[in-house]
Chain A
Amino acid sequence: MANSAARPHVPEEELHAYCDGELSPAQRVEIAEHLLGCLICRSQHAMVEAVRLRSASLLAIAVPAQIRRGKVPAPPVVAPRRRWFGIAVGTAAALIGAVVWSQLAPSSAGPSGAQLANTLGVSNLFGLRPTTVDSAAGNRSRQLEMMTRTIVPPQMKSLADFARVSSAQTAVIPAEVDPVFTSDWTPAAYEDAIKVGNGSLARVDGVPVANVRIHPSAIGGRPTFMVRQQLPDGRTVWVFEGLEPDIAPVNQVLLASGITISMVTRTHPEYVGAGVDARISTRMVTVVGYLSVDSLNALVSRLTLR
């Protein structure tokens, strides 16, 4: 015991190795004996153990849901050559898609090809991309993309873009008041709103819907929906869903209000208008609330269209 007490204090990294079980049996015995007789090292050992446990518990938070639920997929039994089979199938599908697309794709003269594709119901099948969206809509899309990155700090409210927003709108709105509200937003029962939305309406799955407001489309298409949902702890989130040109100004107002906006999701392209005026547009969906952006993005993963 006298020998172990005379040993110099155990360095911190050695205590980590000791706690990690990475020392040889002889080293372990030596340190264990030293700890018995050295108050300073015992205290240091307790601190190391606390840091080890704390860091392990922090890392345990960053684990994918599938692993947390204990779902492990079957091991790979596919021989490498079968991957070539997959590539071959993919290539064949792409070639078929390309041939059909060459037959159906709109010419530079207008959207007739895409319209035909839509009529035949193949647009989703072959993943047709919007081709007649105007550049302004494209710009708005990029703007929306930028808006998803961060919560705009209060000092940005003075930007010229937001100058038209009234002081009432820039104030922090209590959770019980809808973040965007004018007389144009008509209240509707949830079931009625679904009918107006032709059977589909974006909402966060598993969260009760408190009410819905509907705003007419400025471009004569599907209206914009504001679905208010109540979380179990009483906090409120709103799901905004509408055509891209309609939702952009709504998002501007939301952004200026200081409320947090989730990342933006969008649906498959849809046609707006008819004949030569037909344009392809997409439905944009955001979740909004007085919550952290991480919480809202977590809710985005639960978005569903009924």
Chain B
Amino acid sequence: MAFDIDGLYRTTYDSVVRFLYRKVWDADRAEDLAQEVFMRALAHEPEKPRSWVFAVAANIARDEARSAIRKRKHLVLMTHEPMVAPSPNDDVAETMDHAEQEAEVKRALEMLSPRDRDVLLLWDAGLSYPEIAEQTHLALGAVGTTLARARKRLVEAHDSMEADRGEQRRTTARS
């Protein structure tokens, strides 16, 4: 069967970007890396394209994380244009609220073990249990257990952060 890059791209691009974004936490970088993943798919024409692109995305994200540690960039060159062109429909307060919520989800995800996190992100990207098992080298029966644990820990970590924040607000209000 001929390799259908258009079909693969249409059906998995969003999922790949989401998956990469939750690894590198930089929207533009996630899109660049996703393009790189599909370029490689175009060159390799894999037999199981769907699980292949996520395997490659996971490897690329791992390499990216290593290099990001080496060159952490806090200073950004600013040109005479907005660095990220905001959508005219973007509400500032909404942007800020979203940034706060996203930071909490990021912290909650970081509290999971790498394996739990990978399984959870792969499931959310739309992979089936057998595909996740193949990619993570887990036994098929262990995928459900890992996923159940990962979901529970994510929710617990987030709840615990919310409780801390509520406590901080109460303390601030009292003082």
With A20-B129, A67-B17, A75-B38 as known contacts, state yes or no: A263 contacts B90, CB within 8 Å: no
- B90 contact set on A, CB distance < 8 A: 65, 206
Query: Within 8 Å of chain A (Cβ to Cβ): is B108?
Result: yes
Residues of A in contact (CB 8 Å), total 65
Count residues on chain B whose CB falls below 8 Å from chain A CBs.
Answer: 64
The answer to whether B101 and A61 touch across the interface, beta carbons within 8 angstroms, is yes
Instruction: Determine whether A117 belongs to the interface, using a CB cutoff of 8 Å to chain B.
Output: no
A265 adjacent to B76 (CB under 8 Å): yes
Q: How far is the CA of A275 from the CA of B18 in the complex (A)?
A: 52
| B150 surroundings in chain A (CB, below 8 A) | 55
Query: Given that A80-B42, A302-B92 are contacting pairs, would A72 and B13 also be in contact in the complex, using a CB cutoff of 8 Å?
Result: yes
Say whether, besides A63-B18, A78-B39, A12 and B78 are in contact (CB < 8 Å): no
Q: How many Å lie between the Cα of A63 and that of B150 in the bound state?
A: 19
B69 within 8 A of A: no
The answer, yes or no, to whether B59 is at the interface (CB within 8 Å) is no
A206 to B93, CA, bound (A): 11
Q: Is the interface of B mostly helix, strand, loop or mixed?
A: helix
Q: How far is the CB of A57 from chain B (nearest CB, A)?
A: 10
Cβ-based interface call for A212 (8 A): no
Q: Which of A106-114, A177-185, A215-223, A287-295 contacts B (4 or more CB under 8 A)?
A: A287-295
Flag whether B6 is at the interface (Cβ < 8 A). yes
The CA of A205 and the CA of B85, in the complex, are separated in Å by 9
B148 within 8 A of A: yes
Residues of A within 8 A of B5 (CB): 75-76
What is the interface of chain A, defined by CB distance below 8 A to chain B? 12-17, 20, 22, 48, 51-52, 54-56, 58-59, 61-67, 69, 72-73, 75-76, 78, 80, 83, 141, 144-145, 148-149, 200, 202, 204-207, 231-233, 263-268, 285, 291-292, 294-295, 297-305
Measured CB to CB, the residues of B under 8 A from A are: 5-6, 9-10, 13-14, 17-18, 21-22, 27, 30-31, 35, 38-39, 42-43, 74-84, 86-87, 90-93, 95-103, 105-106, 108-109, 120-121, 123-124, 128-129, 144-145, 147-148, 150-152, 154-155, 158
